[in-house]
Structure 1
């Protein structure tokens, strides 16, 4: 088991809510399918998208700063070049974990997150990891 595998398992066993930056209302997009899958397995989804009002039956917030509750796990569906700014926003929002989805990676975002003490995963898919570990959301 790699260090990343350990962090992945810790995140999936710890967080019952996933704040999804770049969540999509379009069912054909991974940014919709992945949160929908996680929601179906018990995780609460808090969508962040500047152009939608409701995604997966949940109210959408324009930015991480607009989320009115404590943010824990931030899952990112945005291009790698945007992730350093998202990492800074996650730190400012008090997040404790940052997850960049499959195909998304950034040395700068990783440094920002790790310097702030966040758990960090990049280039991994929540669905793949959830299935591999056979987990459902932890009970709050």
Structure 2
């Protein structure tokens, strides 16, 4: 079952390193403003976007496979139909503990695959909203 309880979400928000797949360089877009908020609140945000070189003054990676640093959470800002491939890429890494799809994004089959690999999954929730509600 995907993570839904307040206690489990609060525990996930204690992780530090978040790779944001689909991170945007355009202020005003959720895929920019949410990771910026997370960065401003102490998270180590790793932008993943094959069409950008730098976001928030940080190096941007083309894919999860290109990220050399350890990743705790993969936060997905891509359409639901792209989630499956991103989850597969996350599952190829041993360090990813959580896969989080932002509000309006979900793929139940991919979530089940991730859970079968002992990864926590949060679907269709905004990380910024949950952080404000439970931490800030």
Query: TM-score scaled to structure 2, two decimals?
Result: 0.93
Indicate the residue corresponding to 1:138 in structure 2.
none
1:34-113 correspondence to structure 2 within 5 Å: 34-94=34-94, 95-113=96-114
Unpaired stretches in structure 1, ≥5 consecutive residues: 136-140
**1:47 CA displacement:** 0.4
**1:108 CA displacement:** 1.2
Task: State the aligned residue count.
Answer: 133
Corresponding position: 1:18 with 2:18: yes
Deviations 1:108-130 (A, max 9, x none): 12111101111110000011100
CA RMSD of aligned residues (A): 1.3
How far apart, in 2, do the equivalents of 1:61 and 1:123 lie? Answer: 24
Q: 1:109 to 1:6 in 2, by over 3 A?
A: farther
How far apart, in 1, do the equivalents of 2:6 and 2:113 lie? Answer: 20
**1:92 CA displacement:** 0.4
Q: 1:33 to 1:3 in 2, by over 3 A?
A: closer
How far apart, in 2, do the equivalents of 1:3 and 1:128 lie? Answer: 14
How far apart, in 2, do the equivalents of 1:123 and 1:6 lie? Answer: 17
Q: 1:131 to 1:42 in 2, by over 3 A?
A: same
Unpaired stretches in structure 2, ≥5 consecutive residues: none
Indicate the residue corresponding to 1:119 in structure 2.
120
Runs of 4+ in 1 over 6 A off after TM superposition: none
